[in-house]
Amino acid sequence: MLADSVFVPRVNALKISVHFIHQETSETTEALVDTGATHNFLTPELAELLDLQPQKLTKPQTIWNVDGTPNKSRQIDSYVDLKLHPMDWWNVVGQKQHFYLANLGGDQMILGYPWMAANDIPLNWSNPSENPKIFAS
C-alpha cells in the first residue's frame, strides 16, 4: 500500500548544461530535464540576466508545483522564445519554443516534455556527464 504522499529525492534528477548566446551576453546554466513537465520554463531572473525580452500572454495561466501546491509566482503572464539544439549536432536546426517565466525554486530552467518531443535527443540517464551540451539563442 502506498503512503498518502511520495517524496522523490532530487539526487536522481537529470540536469544538462545549456549555453546561452544572446546579443553580447553569454551564460551557462544547468537545466533540469523533466519529462513530466507540460511546458518549458525559465526564471525571470535568468531572462533578465540574458537581456531576453518577455512577451505577454493574452490570458495569464495559474501555475502549480509538482506537489499540487500553488507556485510562488501564482500565475504565468509572460514567456520568451528560445531556439535550442545540441552543441555537437551542427547540422540540426533548432526549433523555437516558448519558455514560460516562473519561480522554479532551486532551478533556473526546466526542459519539459515539449522540448523532449521536438528534439528526440538520446539522453544518458545513468551517466549524465555523457549528455550533449545544449546551445540556446
Q: Residue 126 has what pLDDT?
A: 81
Residue 3 lies in a domain: no
Distance between CA atoms of 114 and 98, rounded to whole angstroms? Answer: 9
Residue 26 lies in a domain: no
Over residues 34-56, the mean pLDDT reads: 91
Band of residue 6 on the pLDDT scale cut at 50, 70, 90: very low
State the pTM of this model: 0.82
| 3-class state of residue 11 by DSSP | helix
Residue 9 lies in a domain: no
Does residue 81 surpass a pLDDT of 50?
yes
Q: Residue 3 has what pLDDT?
A: 37
Q: How many domains does the chain have?
A: 1
Which residue range is the domain that position 95 belongs to? 31-125
Residue 64 lies in a domain: yes
37 grid coordinates: 513537465
The model's pLDDT over 103-123, given as tens digits with 9 standing for 90+, comes to 888 889 999 888 888 877 778
Residue 76 lies in a domain: yes
> Angle 95-17-45 (CA atoms, 0-180°, nearest 5)?
80
Q: Residue 98 has what pLDDT?
A: 93
CATH number of the domain where residue 96 is located: 2.40.70.10
